[in-house]
């Protein structure tokens, strides 16, 4: 049977070709988004009320006049990939000038909004974190134990580079701050019961304390402290209402009613996680006295069955191989909890593609 002059077999072959091209060019979508961040295109459109023509956008961005035609082509890619939407010209715009509008996703890239994700997206798209993925094929040919993908490319671990390079350290911490402010604002509004009744909490590996600051503001009677490495704590803001403690979670954790771990354990293998969790268990009271560990992380296969959620779990698991980390399913989480001496846990898939896990001594 022919379809528009093509046999069914040939049409299927061309569809398969298109699928390969689309998957291969996925990195173009990411780099187009990086360009939008670099040029602050979302800010430019936002400054015009959330909808702007190309001439209006140009007045707000720093580009060479000779590149204006190229900007139109970039905007075409960004609209085709759903980053922005396109409205054809109307009576309020010059003839033949379409209007670009923000989507719910790109509203999260407007830097003036208190709850934005511009910094973490800029972090994830930084060449230092992108280039290592070009080396995955080479990395797979080496036996384990082996340097992680990041070290394989850069010759040093991510955390060592952050400790050595203040600019890279700021990139990582600023990215995590933006993510923490976003997800914690949702968490305290929708899942505040997790923190109710807790007298004191230590945020282990909490960076500059963005998560703890949100918790402290929402629960003023809850005494919050942050423990991280000395070079991180040195950059901590003053007057935040949160106490900062320099330390190493592999050695000990300050005592508190609850220990909070946001996107920490997925960075580490099972042995390291068990060691961290054992130190957390030593720091908290018994379950009967309210002791618990609160984890914000991915639980693979748990939560919404939507394709985007499943794909994000798979993509994040490959991404976190960058530092020899792993995204765990429920059985893998349970294994390290039991090895660390905990008696039980509860998984709440309530944060989009992430979950809250309460672990009890």
Structure confidence by residue, pLDDT tens digits, 225-275? 999 999 888 888 887 789 999 999 999 999 999 999 999 999 999 999 999
Q: Whole-angstrom Cα distance, residue 224 to residue 260? A: 10
pLDDT in tens, 198-207: 999 999 999 8
pLDDT score of 1: 45
Tokens at residue 64, please?
């060479």
Q: How confident is the model at residue 89 (pLDDT cuts 50, 70, 90)?
A: low
Q: Which residue has the tokens 């985007």?
A: 308
pLDDT score of 91: 58
Tokens at residue 6, please?
């093509």
Determine the average pLDDT of the residues in 324-335. Answer: 95
Write out the catalytic residue numbers: 266
Q: Whole-angstrom Cα distance, residue 128 to residue 168? A: 9
Share of the chain above pLDDT 70, in %: 96
pLDDT score of 43: 97
Domains delineated in the chain:
2-107 (1.10.10.10), 118-360 (3.40.50.150)
Q: Which long-range contacts (CB under 8 A, 24 or more apart) does 82-89 make?
A: 83/32, 83/33, 83/36, 84/41, 84/45, 87/51
pLDDT in tens, 129-178: 999 999 899 888 888 767 889 999 999 999 899 989 999 999 998 999 89
Share of the chain above pLDDT 90, in %: 77
The DSSP bridge pattern shows strands 6-7 and 200-204 to be unpaired
pLDDT at 345 over 70: yes
């Amino acid at each position: 049977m022919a379809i528009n002059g093509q046999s069914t077999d040939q049409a299927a072959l061309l569809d398969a070709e298109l699928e390969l091209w689309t998957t291969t060019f996925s990195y173009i979508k990411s780099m187009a988004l990086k360009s939008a961040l670099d040029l602050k295109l979302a800010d430019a459109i936002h400054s015009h009320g959330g909808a702007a023509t190309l001439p209006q956008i140009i007045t707000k961005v720093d580009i060479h006049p000779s590149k204006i035609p190229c900007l139109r082509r970039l905007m075409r890619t960004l609209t085709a990939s759903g980053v922005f939407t396109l409205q054809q010209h109307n009576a309020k715009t010059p003839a033949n000038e379409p209007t670009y509008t923000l989507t719910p996703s790109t509203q999260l890239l407007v830097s003036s909004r208190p709850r934005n994700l511009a910094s973490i997206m800029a972090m994830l798209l930084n060449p230092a974190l992108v280039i290592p993925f070009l080396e995955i094929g080479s990395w797979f040919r080496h036996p384990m134990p082996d340097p992680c993908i990041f070290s394989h490319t850069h010759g040093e671990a991510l955390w060592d580079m952050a400790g050595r390079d203040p600019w890279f350290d700021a990139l990582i911490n600023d990215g995590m701050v933006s993510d923490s402010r976003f997800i914690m604002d949702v968490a305290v509004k929708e899942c505040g019961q997790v923190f109710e009744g807790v007298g004191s909490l230590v945020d282990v590996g909490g960076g500059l304390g963005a998560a703890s600051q949100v918790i402290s503001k929402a629960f003023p009677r809850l005494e919050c402290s942050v423990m991280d490495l000395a070079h991180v704590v040195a950059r901590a803001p003053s007057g935040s209402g949160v106490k900062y403690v320099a330390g190493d979670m592999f050695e000990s954790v300050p005592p508190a009613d609850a220990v909070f771990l946001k996107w920490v354990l997925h960075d580490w293998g099972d042995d390291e996680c068990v060691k961290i969790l054992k130190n957390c268990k030593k720091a908290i009271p018994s379950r009967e006295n309210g002791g618990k560990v609160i984890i914000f992380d991915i639980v693979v296969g748990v939560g919404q069955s939507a394709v985007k959620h499943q794909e994000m779990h798979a993509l994040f698991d490959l991404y976190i191989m960058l530092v020899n980390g792993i995204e765990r399913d429920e059985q893998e989480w349970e294994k390290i909890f039991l090895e660390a001496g905990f008696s039980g846990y509860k998984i709440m898939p309530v944060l989009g593609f992430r979950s809250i896990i309460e672990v009890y001594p």
